[in-house]
């Protein structure tokens, strides 16, 4: 059984987050995105972006969480980034106010493949849901590549479902289809005196 936990990302985590992103994309998306695009991703550039996301989020509701595997040493093995839904969460042609202020958007939810199937993705998602609830969010959305069966299977196994929205990202003149999934954020359970 894996021992692990989730915590807010710290500025010094930015390099590891970038490394995890690259390692995961190069495995998970190797049949979805052009190889030269994956090969040319700049880890230092990504680390600077993650550092900014941690140090200067657009709001208090924008968060980066990291999953930590505990063994003889502790390792960062995954991360999740989310915040209030913005224009990036919209489908093409959708009005700017279509999602509303009470909708969270997941921009990233990645666990490095060698650490997969150890509960880290579930812990990241559960921690994010707790924070969305605190922020008053009633629903969450996430875009997934149509060809990324692992992410879609993981999300649907936790109650997410397609909401009918679709788009295609232009990745170096190649259109890569995505589908949007959504889920209701469950209200906090009230303890009963039984």
Lowest mean pLDDT among 17-21, 25-29, 148-152, 186-190: 186-190
Q: Is residue 181 part of a domain?
A: no
Mean pLDDT of 39-66: 96
Band of residue 143 on the pLDDT scale cut at 50, 70, 90: very high
Both tokens of residue 155?
């999300």
pLDDT at 193: 54
Q: Is residue 159 part of a domain?
A: no
Question: CA dist 7 to 34, 178, 190, Å?
Answer: 33, 29, 25
Lowest mean pLDDT among 1-5, 41-45, 91-95, 135-139: 1-5
Q: Is residue 111 part of a domain?
A: yes
Band of residue 1 on the pLDDT scale cut at 50, 70, 90: very low
pLDDT at 173: 84
What CATH number did the domain enclosing 11 receive? 3.40.630.30
114 has pLDDT over 90: no
**Cα angle 91, 136, 62; round to 5:** 60
pLDDT at 142: 97
Domain residues for 51? 4-137
Q: What's the number of domains the chain is made of? A: 1
2 has pLDDT over 70: no
pLDDT at 90: 96
Both tokens of residue 144?
């997934």
């Amino acid at each position: 059984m894996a021992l692990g936990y989730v915590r807010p990302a710290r500025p010094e985590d930015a390099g590891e987050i970038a490394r995890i992103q690259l390692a995961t994309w190069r495995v998970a998306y190797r049949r979805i995105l052009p190889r030269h695009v994956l090969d040319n991703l700049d880890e230092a550039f990504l680390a600077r972006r993650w550092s900014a996301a941690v140090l200067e989020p657009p709001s208090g509701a924008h968060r980066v969480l990291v999953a930590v595997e505990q063994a003889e040493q502790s390792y960062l093995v995954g991360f999740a980034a989310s915040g209030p839904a913005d224009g990036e969460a919209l489908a093409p042609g959708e009005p700017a106010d279509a999602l509303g202020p009470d909708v969270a958007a997941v921009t990233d939810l990645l666990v490095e493949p060698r650490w997969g199937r150890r509960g880290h993705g579930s812990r990241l998602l559960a921690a994010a849901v707790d924070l969305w609830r605190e922020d008053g969010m009633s629903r969450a959305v996430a875009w997934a590549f149509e060809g990324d069966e692992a992410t879609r299977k993981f999300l649907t196994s936790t109650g997410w479902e397609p909401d009918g929205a679709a788009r295609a990202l232009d990745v170096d003149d190649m259109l890569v289809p995505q589908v949007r999934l959504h889920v209701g954020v469950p209200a906090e359970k009230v303890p009963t005196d039984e």
